[in-house]
């Protein structure tokens, strides 16, 4: 799980892309306060996207589904 804005000029979207390229079996979920980041996250291979403030129950359900539980 990563936020789009990581501070110090770091991008959660770049992290998502790197993780998916290097570890395609890893599920990456992206959080953002900006709904416009949803499409970019999906395009970069994110398993899921949550708009802040995200619902913890929905997050847990999405993570369980991605892990096959």
For the stretch 26-40, pLDDT in tens is 999 999 999 999 999
Helices (H), ranges, the chain: 12-22, 37-43, 56-66
Question: Distance between CA atoms of 3 and 21, rounded to whole angstroms?
Answer: 18
Question: Distance between CA atoms of 69 and 30, rounded to whole angstroms?
Answer: 20
- The answer to whether residue 2 scores a pLDDT higher than 80 is yes
> pLDDT at position 9, please?
85
- The answer to whether residue 68 scores a pLDDT higher than 90 is no
For the stretch 40-54, pLDDT in tens is 999 999 999 999 999
pTM, two decimal places: 0.88
């Amino acid at each position: 799980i990563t936020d789009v804005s990581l501070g110090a000029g770091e991008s959660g979207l770049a992290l998502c892309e790197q993780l998916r390229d290097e570890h395609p079996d890893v599920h990456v979920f992206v959080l953002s306060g900006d709904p416009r980041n949803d499409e970019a996250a999906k395009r970069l291979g994110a398993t899921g996207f949550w708009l802040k403030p995200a619902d913890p129950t929905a997050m847990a359900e999405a993570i369980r589904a991605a892990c096959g539980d």
